[in-house]
A and B are shown apart, each in its own frame.
Chain A
Amino acid sequence: MKESFEVAIVGAGPAGISAACKLADHGVTPIVFERGEFPGAKNTSGGVLYGHDLERIIPDFTDRKCPVERNIVESRLWYLNKNGGYSLSYRDTVFKNNRRHNIFTIGRAKFDRWFAGQASRKGAIVVCGTVVTDLLRDKNGKVTGVRTDRVDGDIEADVVLLADGINSPLAAKTGFRPEPSPEHVALAVKEVIELPEKAIQERFNVEEQDGVTIDILGDITCGMNGVAVIYTNRKSLSLCIGANLADFSANRIKPYEMMENFKDHPMVAPLIKGGKSIEYMAHWLAEGGYDHIPELCGDGYLIAGDSAMLFNALHREGSNLAMISGAFAAETILEARQNKDFSKQSLNGYVRRLENSFILKDLKKYRRFNMFLQKHREIFTTLPEGFSFAAREMLTVDGVPKKEKQKIIWRNLRKNHSLTDLLCLCWDALRSV
């Protein structure tokens, strides 16, 4: 193996591969290190991706046999209590016809492998089964390459892109991104449940190739700040549930037991009935938001994707932010290459690109969102039942006048929440989004 490359990329996920594609498009041959046996072997996400952002890397991705599971035509939001819950959904034929692949589901083992294949085809070198254990630096601290766990595994590079994901012992070791504290990540577990294609279509009321996403809040996360999702794949459902890691510690709740309770919920159980679990995984989500994004570049390196904590929890955007940040990193590298200058100053165009794009604009807009959820625990503890009581009362036909029912509902809500609390909740909610 040649021991010196212009660009070394750590991680063959969406950020690393997007950068590799862009670089290869411009005649640069990057080397990408992947610790899994193949790209995607270690990766997981809830499982949605966005066509608009993938198109920026692979314009004709649908013609290139991109492993799309289902095209999402309907998005549901559930707010659950123990017995049931509220459901709000939006479906539109626009997402079936005119804006197809606006949102679609993927399985990362298949998708990332396909995506890395596209980069290889363009000329990038993807080396699997290799862990990057350290970064090489010169006497001034400028990054000059990577150290891998292979024999004689040092590779020199003019610039290194760190795209190794949110769980990055490398970032912690080198100090480029401090280790996140448990408050600033959520731990999510995922189970993939196999079902016949037809059963999925019937249960979700969709046609072949179309699908639904359900994002879920409520007391399913046992009072912890967390979320669950159900996404439809072609022949399976992705079920994820997660909560703030510090909350897991404080409440002594086991993630896999929470998953089992979730599967037993009366709104969930009928959807997965008769299904067969085929895989169980775990992953972090960045919860720190805008204020915990690390320094995004330095002398000889840039950080992209999850590794840079670029995650928009409210809009479940992560993989696409990884792709676009990876592409921005590549553009910046190409620019710096013309001047033969990979200093921090020269790479700063990367930060400017992120700031001028939806990525940092959105994260800035929602910078208070996670604090809002952390502060207003009632969203996960008492409000699910309070709101359910209201719906249950109003829907029960029992001869009680509606005005009387309203009073009962209000009294019940006020048992746990003062008027000030409720106003504060509304005010903070508005401010956080």
Chain B
Amino acid sequence: MAATIEDKLFLNRFNVDKTSHLQIIDGKVCMEDCREQPCLYICPANVYKLERNRISVNYEGCLECGSCRIGCPHLNIDWRFPTGGFGIRHKFG
């Protein structure tokens, strides 16, 4: 059976920060102006999920690639690195 994204993220070691390093700047833009919503597809960690009336940000599993930041057609994601020492910690690399 194919591994789900949850299975894959479960393999990794994360040192999760208390606050999110990813913020949607204006939630209204996502729901009203963004037809494509590519963040729902391109994120390799499925961080962005479509809820009933918003997009949720599950920053805990972020692989820190940066794709959502430049892939958002409205540049509506405020993206910084997790605080030093936090975030993913590669075992093999």
Pair from one complex? yes
Residues of A at the B interface (CB closer than 8 Å) are 35-37, 40-45, 107-112, 128-131, 133, 148-150, 167, 169, 179-182, 185, 187, 189, 191-192, 233, 236, 245, 248-249, 252-257, 260, 264, 277-284
Does B23 belong to the interface (CB within 8 Å)? no
Contacts of A109 in B (CB 8 A): 90-93
Contacts of A181 in B (CB 8 A): 70
Given A131-B81, A187-B65, A280-B11, answer yes or no on A249-B71 (Cβ-Cβ < 8 Å): yes
**CB <8 Å contact, B41 and A284:** no
Given A107-B92, A109-B91, A191-B8, answer yes or no on A282-B84 (Cβ-Cβ < 8 Å): no
Given A253-B41, A254-B41, A279-B11, answer yes or no on A40-B93 (Cβ-Cβ < 8 Å): yes
**CB <8 Å contact, A131 and B44:** no
Question: Could you tell me the dominant secondary structure of chain B's interface residues?
Answer: loop
Closest 9 CB pairs of A and B: A108-B93, A129-B85, A109-B93, A167-B66, A282-B44, A280-B8, A282-B63, A249-B38, A129-B84
A186 to chain B, nearest CB (A): 10
Does B58 belong to the interface (CB within 8 Å)? no
B9 to chain A, nearest CB (A): 7
Determine the distance from Cα of A100 to Cα of B81 in the docked complex, in whole angstroms. 39
> 24 A-B contacts, Cβ less than 8 Å apart?
A37-B15, A41-B89, A42-B87, A42-B88, A42-B89, A42-B90, A43-B90, A108-B90, A111-B93, A128-B85, A130-B84, A131-B83, A149-B84, A169-B81, A181-B70, A182-B70, A189-B44, A256-B46, A278-B11, A278-B91, A279-B11, A279-B12, A279-B90, A284-B67
Residue among B7, B15, B85 with max Cβ neighbours from chain A (10 Å): B85
Determine the distance from Cα of A206 to Cα of B67 in the docked complex, in whole angstroms. 37
Partner of B92, one of A36, A169, A255, A278: A278
Does B36 belong to the interface (CB within 8 Å)? yes
Contacts of A44 in B (CB 8 A): 90, 93
Does B50 belong to the interface (CB within 8 Å)? no
**CB <8 Å contact, A180 and B70:** yes
Determine the distance from Cα of A255 to Cα of B46 in the docked complex, in whole angstroms. 9
Given A35-B84, A169-B79, answer yes or no on A281-B66 (Cβ-Cβ < 8 Å): no
B65 to chain A, nearest CB (A): 4
**CB <8 Å contact, A249 and B90:** no
Given A40-B90, A252-B41, A256-B46, answer yes or no on A280-B81 (Cβ-Cβ < 8 Å): no
**CB <8 Å contact, A282 and B65:** yes
Other contacts beyond A42-B87, A109-B93, A169-B66: 17, CB < 8 A = A35-B81, A35-B84, A35-B85, A109-B90, A109-B91, A110-B92, A149-B83, A149-B84, A189-B44, A236-B92, A248-B67, A257-B2, A279-B91, A281-B12, A281-B88, A281-B90, A282-B44
Does B5 belong to the interface (CB within 8 Å)? yes
Does B30 belong to the interface (CB within 8 Å)? no
Residue among B42, B65, B79, B93 with max Cβ neighbours from chain A (10 Å): B93
Determine the distance from Cα of A110 to Cα of B2 in the docked complex, in whole angstroms. 29
Given A149-B83, A256-B46, answer yes or no on A187-B67 (Cβ-Cβ < 8 Å): yes
Which B residues, 51 to 93, have Cβ-Cβ distances below 8 Å to chain A?
A: 63-67, 69-71, 79-81, 83-85, 87-93
Determine the distance from Cα of A37 to Cα of B42 in the docked complex, in whole angstroms. 27
**CB <8 Å contact, B91 and A245:** no
Partner of B85, one of A36, A253, A256, A278: A36
